[in-house]
Amino acid sequence: MVFNSFGFIFIFLPLLLAGWNLLLKLGHRRLAILFITLMSAVLYGIFNWKYLVIIGISMAVTYLFSYIIEKRKKAPKMLTALVVIFHVAVLGYFKYTGFLVDNINAIFKTDYTFTAFLLPVGISFYTFSQIAFVIDRSKGEIPHYDFLSYAFYVLFFPKIMQGPIAFPSEIIEQTHDIKKLSFDPDRFARGIILFIIGLSKKVLMADTIALIVTYTYSQAYYLDTLCVIVAGIATALNIYFDFSGYCDMADGISQMLGFTLPQNFNSPFKAASVQELWQRWHMTLSRFLTKYVYFPLGGSRRGVVRTVFNILLIFFISGLWHGAGWNYVVWGLLNGILVIFDHFHKKKILPKKIRQVLTFLFFSFSVIIFQAPDLVTGGVMVKKLAFFTFPGFLYRTAANLSLSETYVLEEAVQLFAPNMLNIFFFVLMIVILAFSLFLMTRKNAREIAQESTFKTSQIVVLAVLAVLSILSLSNVQTFIYFTF
């Protein structure tokens, strides 16, 4: 069950909030935590009960490791390494075995086949959460928590399926103070604001722009240069609205429950360099890789060559983490190369506004490779940027924006000026993309929620967004990052 569904919004979430606040009001903090943990397991198990078996085994191994450390009063390095390898192996089996077999077949001309029986939703996210727990526990940075607190950290439903990747202490320590968790009208209202903004990002923006993205990549070999440019910009906006929309909803739900999740997005398209963009985009993944990979390898303290290697390794892992394909690896390394340039080239010649535009355009260019079904298709699309062609494919691309929200206008044009229908869709596409880019220059969801004064005008705008989003739920699409 996803956040952008009738069942979640009108059944699961109200029951969850009612049960949680009732138990807290009665003074049953641990029972309330157990309630949330079980409800999280139910929500996750609705996708597929087998997911619960896989994550259950993963949790059992990790908690046993913590228990052994508690009894022995130390963390054997070999045991720590084995548990980390176990988690990486589980992730690798479900997500990367098919990719590995395909590459073996390509290199050695064999014909092995492999099909994983399932790919658990959010496995990359909760695997990294488990690894964070193992390493922090081995270093003595966190204590041996009781199993309920640990299970809550792993299963807490706002973050399990699509992040953010929270550190153990960030979540578990918040469960100890019943006063801070108790119902707070102001915090609850700001949580609702975040949820509505996130829902509208997903349903009204991401799912609409996805129509352009889906069509352009299905016609990759026939697109002209302008269509590839549109595809890149649309892809960047689609991924942003989709992923940040989920994070806003997760953050909003958490605030309604009295918890605060680490921030995952901070207006990334306001960045004036690729390095800054990655400090603002998927922030919890970046800090995870920085803490557990980059710093242990020496970071930037061991000379230029080692720094370059460490940065490229980080982005290689980041690319592969996003998907089992060479296009993801190339996308990651492209970003890594630009981050290396930014790291060593501190002098900024161009004005900030121009650097912001160039950074966004580079990111839009790079996600063409990211979104392509394979590296060959991505290469074909990128090649069209180098050799200008214009067979007039823009009208066909725009024609995919036949929306229920604009049905009346579309029918009116069809009735009174049928020859202008192509123009109508083209203008609609430009308006949607331009409005999306405009939103990138405004305050982000957290800023809006934090600064809201609950004026009548603000409430009306939020109510309209909520109604439009709910009316559009019939065309709901799943989140992009569920597959990661």
- Smallest Cα–Cα separation from 34: which of 146, 144, 188? 146
- Spatial CB neighbours of 247, under 8 Å, sequence gap ≥ 6: 162, 163, 164, 198, 261, 264, 265
Burial class (CB in 10 A: 0-12, 13-18, 19+), 408: exposed
CA 367/CA 217 separation, integer angstroms: 12
Cβ 254 vs Cβ 175: under 8 Å: no
- For 94, phi then psi, to 5°, come to -75, -30
pLDDT of residue 479: 59
Q: How far apart are CA 469 and CA 323, in angstroms?
A: 29
Residues 365, 235: Cα–Cα separation, whole Å: 9
Q: What is residue 475's predicted lDDT score, i.e. its pLDDT? A: 61
- For each of the chain's 484 residues, which pLDDT tens digit applies? 788 889 999 999 999 999 999 999 999 999 999 999 999 999 999 988 999 999 999 999 999 999 999 988 787 889 999 999 999 999 999 999 988 998 999 898 888 887 767 788 889 999 999 999 999 999 999 999 999 999 999 999 999 988 799 999 999 999 998 888 999 999 999 999 999 999 999 999 999 999 999 999 999 998 999 999 999 999 999 999 999 999 999 999 999 999 999 999 999 999 999 999 999 999 999 999 999 999 999 988 888 999 999 999 999 999 999 988 999 999 999 999 999 998 888 777 889 999 999 999 999 999 999 999 999 999 999 998 888 877 678 888 998 988 877 878 888 888 888 888 889 999 999 999 999 999 999 999 999 999 999 999 999 999 999 999 998 886 656 655 555 5
Q: What is the pTM of this model?
A: 0.92
Residue 269 contacts residue 436 (beta carbons within 8 Å): no
Token pair for residue 426?
């083209």
Query: Which pLDDT belongs to residue 418?
Result: 83
E strands present in 289-368: none
If one counts every other C-beta atom within 10 angstroms of the C-beta of residue 348, the result is 11
In the prediction, which pLDDT does 349 show? Answer: 82
- DSSP helix/strand/coil, 292: helix
